[in-house]
Amino acid sequence: MTTQFLRALTQSLALACISLALAGCANLEKPSDDKSAATEVSAENAQPSQTISVAKPVMAKQKIEVSSDPPADIWVRIRQGFAMPDLENDLVKDREEWYAARPDYMVRMTERSRKYLFHIVEELERRNMPTELALLPFIESAFNPEAVSSAKAAGMWQFMPATGKYFDLKQNMFRDERRGVVESTRAALDYLQKLYGMFGDWHLALAAYNWGEGSVSRALAKNKAAGLGLTYSDLNMPTETRYYVPKLQAVKNIIAQPQSFNARLPLIQNHPYFRSVSITRDIDVKLAANFAGISLDDFKALNPSMSRPVILAAGTPEILLPWDNADKFLRRLEEHANKPLASWTAWSVPKTMKIAEVGKLVNMSESELRSINPIPNGMQVKQGSTLLVARQGNLDSDVTEHLADNAQISFAPEVVLRRIMVTTLKGDTLATLAARHDVTPANIAAWNKLKIPVALKPGQSIAILVPTTASSKGSKTGTKKSSINTGVKSTPNQSNGNGSKAKTKAPIKAQKQTSKDVKASAQGSSKSP
């Protein structure tokens, strides 16, 4: 029995050694796994599907020696959730060097992220998504929720207006949720999940986030037809997209091993930075910040979607406040339960009106109205527009949900011009015609394609643009009068002020003219909204 037992034990040990050796050989094909390195998750090159499917959960591999205690700082937590395959190429090294050479820039970005990282990581973990994605705002906006690109993408996650609307981010005169911390994060993760569901690969999903899902789909189809590879690195992409994932990988590498890059990461505790607080009444932004005991800048950093000096409870029923300041705000709010909180309300314009007229109705100056709304010079507001006005008298109520969600403002030029033809008399010049019709010689020259100086001949037909509401200045008394061709119908100038013949009879809007076309002192300068 003893001999048999020893023989069996020897065989078992031999088999175990062989198994361990084979396992060791297999592990040579994969990068080592530790707490500071990213965990690789294999993903096959999936072709984009014709239909959008729900994203598959992406599980991070279990780490060795994972503590049951939650990490003390957010960076450790982010590292533990790394689950995307690493990208290794020269572009990554290039970006690593770029960031490493700019430690001050890295410090500013990471410090700015302090307010938002915990929330983003929480949402990623709740959705079972790789925590590398919490670093994406570093690439998109340097974690600046007020960032606006030249293409009009806005917010921390850089949503274009149309994409924002698709993901239910409200954009109106009172708020732009593309800038909102909670709202834009929800939309960005929804979008990334959608893209991962389409492509089955996080690198391709990120390329689509930057370049567009259609562009990535076409690039994949082109490569497939040519028998080329179907990974991110295989695609022919614009320079920005080609550097997009390498940038994220570079930041990921720096976050994973900051000491290797001489980088300093600020301590960001693994604790909520902000808390959501409900409001039921409109309240001034300054007053809300005061109640919370924080600066106006700090309040706006957590509530960047608000574009006006008042928070409308019907449209924004919750605000974000630093965790330790939320209770103070609620106490102060309770103390002012029977006191006014807002200085502003919304008012619908009953008819198309000049700003001076509006000012008389709402007891505000033109400058106040233009500043708070804002309204361009030379413009009047159209009927149905919503204006923010001072609360007083009959205008002393909170804004309704309908106005808070659907308010818009549109403009019309204060001056509508019509084209008349005048016949010059002996001795007429551009200067005398200009003085007679209250315009400038340059106006007349432009309208008639004349070069200054020009000598006018008696009997010459000249086009003049005059306000439709103004009586003709050709009847002005004097020794000389230009003759108005009453047989020619007044028609609009369709040439944007170049004097070509008109073909329709629609009135000319002043926004088609430059500020030089009509005397600003007499008619007001004309600027498009």
Domain architecture of the chain: domains with CATH? 74-261 (1.10.530.10), 274-335 (no CATH), 344-413 (no CATH), 416-523 (3.10.350.10)
Average pLDDT of 437-453? 87
Pairing of strands 416-423, 483-484: antiparallel
Residue range 283-300, pLDDT digits in tens: 999 999 999 999 999 999
Question: Residue 399 gets which letter from DSSP?
Answer: P
- The predicted pLDDT at position 52 comes to 29
- The predicted pLDDT at position 4 comes to 46
- State the CB neighbour count (10 A cutoff) for residue 30: 10
pTM over 0.85: no
Distance CA 201, CA 196 (A): 6
Q: What residues does 284 pair with on adjacent strands? A: 310
- Of 394, 349, 387, 352, nearest to 371 by C-alpha is 387
Is pLDDT of 489 > 90? no
Find the helix packing angle between 181-199 and 117-126, rounded to 10°. 40
Query: 479: buried, middle or exposed (CB in 10 Å: 19+, 13-18, 0-12)?
Result: exposed
520: Cβ–Cβ under 8 A, 6 or more apart, which residues? none
Is pLDDT of 494 > 90? no
Sign for the CA dihedral angle at 170, 172, 177, 180 comes to: negative
Query: 63: buried, middle or exposed (CB in 10 Å: 19+, 13-18, 0-12)?
Result: middle
Higher pLDDT, 352 or 32: 352
pLDDT class for 67, splitting at 50, 70, 90?
Answer: low
Distance CA 392, CA 362 (A): 8
Is pLDDT of 204 > 50? yes
Q: What is the mean pLDDT of the chain?
A: 80
Distance CA 382, CA 89 (A): 57
Average pLDDT of 121-140? 98
Going along 199-285, which residue ranges are E strands? Answer: 274-278, 283-284
pLDDT class for 36, splitting at 50, 70, 90?
Answer: very low
Question: Residue 456 gets which letter from DSSP?
Answer: P
Residue range 79-98, pLDDT digits in tens: 999 999 999 999 999 999 99
* Identity of the highest mean pLDDT range in 9-13, 217-221, 492-496: 217-221
- The predicted pLDDT at position 475 comes to 38
- State the CB neighbour count (10 A cutoff) for residue 35: 15
Sign for the CA dihedral angle at 12, 17, 22, 23 comes to: positive
Is 324 strand, coil or helix? Answer: helix
Is pLDDT of 416 > 60? yes
pLDDT class for 418, splitting at 50, 70, 90?
Answer: confident
Q: Are 61 and 39 in contact (CB under 8 A)?
A: yes
pLDDT class for 69, splitting at 50, 70, 90?
Answer: confident
Residue range 246-283, pLDDT digits in tens: 999 999 999 999 999 999 999 999 999 999 999 999 99
pLDDT class for 17, splitting at 50, 70, 90?
Answer: very low
Average pLDDT of 209-216? 97
229: Cβ–Cβ under 8 A, 6 or more apart, which residues? 45, 223
Catalytic positions, please? Answer: 140
Residue range 345-369, pLDDT digits in tens: 999 999 999 999 999 999 999 999 9
pLDDT class for 515, splitting at 50, 70, 90?
Answer: very low
Is pLDDT of 379 > 90? no
- The predicted pLDDT at position 417 comes to 78
Is pLDDT of 314 > 60? yes
Average pLDDT of 226-235? 97
